[in-house]
Amino acid sequence: MSPPRRVLEPRHFGAFRCLGADCEDTCCDGWAVTVDKPTYEKYRQHPDSAWRARFEQLIAINPAGAGDHDYARIELATTTCPFLSEGLCSIHQKLGEECLSVTCASFPRVWNVVDQVLEKSLDMGCPEAARQALLDPDPMDFQERAIAESGPNGPEFSPARVSVVNSASGVRPDKPYRHFGAVRAFVVWLLQNRAQPLWKRLLILGLFCDKLQEMAAGAGEAGIPALVQAYRDAVSAGLFEDTVNQLPARPAVLLETVAELILFRITSDFTNRKFLASYQEFMDGLEWGADSTMEQLASRYSAASAQYYTPFLSRHPHILEHYLVNYVYRGLFPFGPQESTYGLRVQNIRRSIHTEFMLMAAYFAMVQTLLVGLAGFHKESFGTEHVIRVIYTFTRTFEHSLAFPARLMQTLAEKGLDNPAGVAVLVRN
């Protein structure tokens, strides 16, 4: 891969700074911490014998077959990294940033390369990254500039962790990568079209993605530019109104589905404690007890949405819009990468265009459903701090899980929700 010469990054990217011990959470709580081979060699050859002994005790080489990116791992005695000390990384404190593994030095920054342009974004699993990305009321915009050959922390681009899209090569029959730029530009334009409520934008996006997959899988790839333009024109003319308005909300089905998915995840693996606290507030906000019926819960959900969540959303319509736009850029939606130099990246798992959309819609649905419950719990005091807590802990818990997407798609299929009517159930309040 030729090194990129240009950078595309959101306006908020440069404003992000790690809060260190002032952060309300810690990056390494419950997550496996991988160590790349060059960093491991630094540890093995470190001149301080006491540090070498700690590294030998706490870092284990992964089994044969692992790549240089996940050559070793830090052994977790509890749910947090043993190098964490009073909210700070002791490796960073004592040895400097140059001794951090690629995993630790980069999070929450994400790098993709699209047609020789380095695209930077932030992972919403970090609370400060979420604040920087989500709280700006203006539409999320991206700025392009020349890449810096060097800086205070070395070169601006390192190929150690990057996913790649090259529209001129490696085209797969089910993914029309040569149209990636035009397709993504339309997706972002649609998601930022505030003339429509966000749930309608998502429904239209689902219809577009299904048509896109249909054309890409057949002999219709040459018609994709015309498809993009036709959808732009139809959205601008309001031609989807009748189609989307006739797809009803079904809050009882939504609550049942979201609760089932959350229960699967929190009983199958470590779950961030702050997410569990949010989930409890969600349950309490809907007065969800052992004797509650889905009809009662749906009624309380609708009341909490109308009385507390919808007024908040009307004052902050940008937050979930930014969440979706960031998701699009970070994961190279709706195609995903052609290749990745970092094998553990969730985005390296190849999925159909339809599956990519259903995952995004379902994640949005789960976040929004949780927020309605929290609004019912906090009532008039429901605010942006609760939204940030839900989104960053949700991202850590669900979007970073390797096992959850397959279970999510299985559940949606079993419930008959993996279609336009099902998407309406998921996203319409």
Alpha helices in 172-267 (DSSP H): 180-191, 198-217, 224-236, 241-245, 251-266
Residue ranges covered by each domain of the chain = 28-105, 177-243
Please report the sign of the dihedral spanned by the C-alpha atoms of residue 332, residue 417, residue 211, residue 321: negative
Q: Determine the average pLDDT of the residues in 251-269.
A: 96
In the predicted model, is pLDDT for residue 39 greater than 50?
Answer: yes
Q: Determine the average pLDDT of the residues in 208-233.
A: 92
Closest Cα partner for 148 from 5, 316, 10, 346?
Answer: 5
The strand pair at 109-114 and 117-122 is best described as antiparallel
3-state DSSP call for residue 59?
A: strand
Q: Mean of the per-residue pLDDT values for the chain?
A: 90
The rounded distance, in Å, linking the Cα atoms of 186 and 134 is 21
Q: Rounded to the nearest 5°, which phi and psi values hold at 163?
A: -105, 150
Q: What type of residue is 33?
A: V
3-state DSSP call for residue 194?
A: coil
Q: Determine the average pLDDT of the residues in 214-224.
A: 85
Angle at 271 between CA 268 and CA 273, to 5 degrees: 150
The rounded distance, in Å, linking the Cα atoms of 132 and 164 is 25
Beta bridge partners of 109: 122
Residue with tokens 């219709």: 220
Residue with tokens 């974004």: 121
Q: Which two tokens stand for residue 406?
A: 């397959």
Question: How many H-runs (helices) and E-runs (strands) does the chain carry?
Answer: 18, 11
Residues 134-148 have pLDDT tens digits of 999 999 999 999 987
Q: Which two tokens stand for residue 315?
A: 């004052």
Higher model confidence: residue 11 or residue 71?
11
The rounded distance, in Å, linking the Cα atoms of 281 and 270 is 19
Residues 69-99 have pLDDT tens digits of 778 888 877 777 888 887 778 888 888 878 8
Residues 167-180 have pLDDT tens digits of 886 556 678 899 99
Helical (H) or strand (E) element with 112: strand 109-114
Residues 382-405 have pLDDT tens digits of 999 999 999 999 999 999 998 999
Q: Which two tokens stand for residue 54?
A: 């700690």
pLDDT band, residue 158 (cuts 50/70/90): low
pLDDT band, residue 345 (cuts 50/70/90): very low
pLDDT of residue 346: 44
Cβ atoms of 164 and 112 closer than 8 Å: yes
The rounded distance, in Å, linking the Cα atoms of 333 and 337 is 9
The pTM (predicted TM-score) of the whole model is 0.92
In the predicted model, is pLDDT for residue 37 greater than 80?
Answer: yes
The rounded distance, in Å, linking the Cα atoms of 93 and 47 is 17
In the predicted model, is pLDDT for residue 150 greater than 80?
Answer: no
The rounded distance, in Å, linking the Cα atoms of 405 and 386 is 25
| Chain centroid offset of residue 173 CA | 26
In the predicted model, is pLDDT for residue 114 greater than 50?
Answer: yes
Higher model confidence: residue 67 or residue 145?
145
Total Cβ atoms within 10 A of residue 341: 20
The winner for highest mean pLDDT among 29-43, 142-156, 335-349 is 29-43
